[in-house]
């Protein structure tokens, strides 16, 4: 497994008029091993940009991202699984084809494919749909395929960018529960980006609060509840959620 260290991340984007727009203003945080780190902040603050920087899709103007893995061979590229806000599936490939696309991309030996597809589709409860095309599945199921595609490469770090924000409330809630239990079971190091404070309180072992744009870290909160003890109706948990909401609101000013 691995952990992530982001140190002094700075990122500018070009505005339409050509001027610079500061999006990340020296963001630093650690994502600990075997746990979910939640980045919570208002929409447009730079969360996706930050996650893209961690994955290497986006380069930083200053600062750096370190993915420290116990597979300490120098040439080793860290394996990163990415779950997007939209499922971003290849709709012309069957469910298993979408998983194979990731396996192939990450150069996983072909003899492991079938076993892994079986294991991870089973984990997200979609084994019986492995031959189905994505557009025949519901939104929640498609998002599960996206999760399975990220897990099937057995990533050292799992990145999730608001993966539930486009789902209806009930589907999102179920998927949150399932993702949390899967990550706990796999001892998965994960970074989850969200603007939903309840989601952060429920999913995050550690919650990193970001300010409005330009994003910087205003507070880091460790979740006092173990994953199994996070009960949305429990009064103490609600208390914790409220406290977190206050911190997030404060950080937006």
Partner 1 sequence: MANQEKILIARQEVQSALNEELTELPRRNSNKINEGIRNIGLRVASILTLILIWWLLSLFFPPTLIPKPSETFTEVATIVSTGNFFSGMGSTLRRVGVGFGIAMIVSIPLGILMGTLRSFESFFEPPVILGLTMPGLIWAVLMIMFFGLNETSAYAAVAITIMPMLAISIWQGTKSIDKDLIDMSKAFHASPWSKVVDVILPQLISHILAAIRYGLGLAWKVVVVVEMFGLSNGVGYQVVRGFNIFSMKAVLAWAISFLVVMIIIEFGMIGWLEKAVTKWRPRAEAWRR
Ligand X SMILES: Nc1ncnc2c1ncn2[C@@H]1O[C@H](COP(=O)(O)OP(=O)(O)O)[C@@H](O)[C@H]1O
Residues making contact with partner 1 (CB under 8 A): 55, 57, 77, 80, 82, 84, 86, 88, 90-94, 101-102, 104-107, 133-136, 149, 153
Q: Which of 38, 40, 47, 143 binds ligand X (CB under 6 A)?
A: 47
DSSP class of residue 79 equals: P
Number of residues that bind ligand X (CB under 6 A): 11
Residue 8's binding partner among Mg ion, partner 1, ligand X, none (Cβ under 5 to 8 angstroms by kind) is: none
Q: How far apart are CA 174 and CA 182, in angstroms?
A: 12
> Can you read off the two tokens belonging to residue 21?
């727009």
Q: Which of 27, 38, 48, 167 binds ligand X (CB under 6 A)?
A: 48
Per CB under 6 A, 43 contacts ligand X? yes
Per CB under 5 A, 98 contacts Mg ion? no
Per CB under 5 A, 55 contacts Mg ion? no
Q: How many CB atoms lie within 10 A of CB 147?
A: 25
Per CB under 6 A, 194 contacts ligand X? no
Q: Is 136 left (phi over 0), alpha (psi -120 to 50) or beta?
A: alpha
Residue 13's binding partner among Mg ion, ligand X, partner 1, none (Cβ under 5 to 8 angstroms by kind) is: ligand X
DSSP class of residue 215 equals: B
Q: Is 34 left (phi over 0), alpha (psi -120 to 50) or beta?
A: left
Per CB under 5 A, 48 contacts Mg ion? yes
**Nearby residues of 13 by Cβ (< 8 Å), 6 or more positions away:** 20, 21, 23, 49
Number of residues that bind Mg ion (CB under 5 A): 1
Q: How far apart are CA 216 and CA 46, in angstroms?
A: 9
| Site for Mg ion, rule CB under 5 A | 48
| Site for ligand X, rule CB under 6 A | 13-14, 23, 43-49, 213
């Amino acid at each position: 497994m691995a952990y992530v260290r982001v140190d002094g991340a700075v990122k500018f984007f070009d505005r339409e008029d050509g001027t610079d727009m500061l999006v990340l203003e020296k963001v630093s945080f650690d994502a600990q091993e075997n746990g979910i780190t939640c980045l919570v902040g208002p929409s447009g603050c730079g969360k996706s940009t930050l996650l893209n920087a961690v994955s290497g899709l986006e380069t930083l103007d200053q600062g750096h991202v370190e993915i420290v893995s116990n597979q300490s061979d120098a040439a080793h590229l860290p394996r990163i699984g990415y779950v997007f806000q939209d499922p971003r599936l290849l709709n012309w490939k069957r469910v298993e084809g979408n998983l194979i696309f990731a396996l192939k991309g990450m150069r996983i030996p072909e003899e492991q494919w079938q076993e892994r597809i079986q294991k991870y589709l089973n984990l997200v409860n979609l084994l019986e749909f492995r031959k189905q095309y994505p557009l025949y599945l519901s939104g929640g199921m498609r998002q599960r395929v996206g999760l399975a595609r990220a897990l099937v490469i057995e990533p050292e770090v799992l990145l999730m960018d608001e993966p539930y924000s486009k789902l209806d409330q009930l589907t999102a809630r179920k998927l949150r529960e399932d993702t949390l239990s899967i990550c706990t079971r796999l001892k998965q190091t994960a970074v989850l980006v969200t603007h939903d404070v309840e989601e952060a309180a429920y999913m995050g072992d550690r919650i990193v609060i970001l300010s409005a744009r330009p994003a910087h870290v205003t507070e880091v909160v460790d979740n006092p509840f173990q994953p199994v003890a996070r009960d949305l109706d429990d009064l103490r948990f609600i208390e914790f959620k409220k406290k977190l909401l206050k911190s997030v609101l404060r950080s937006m000013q």
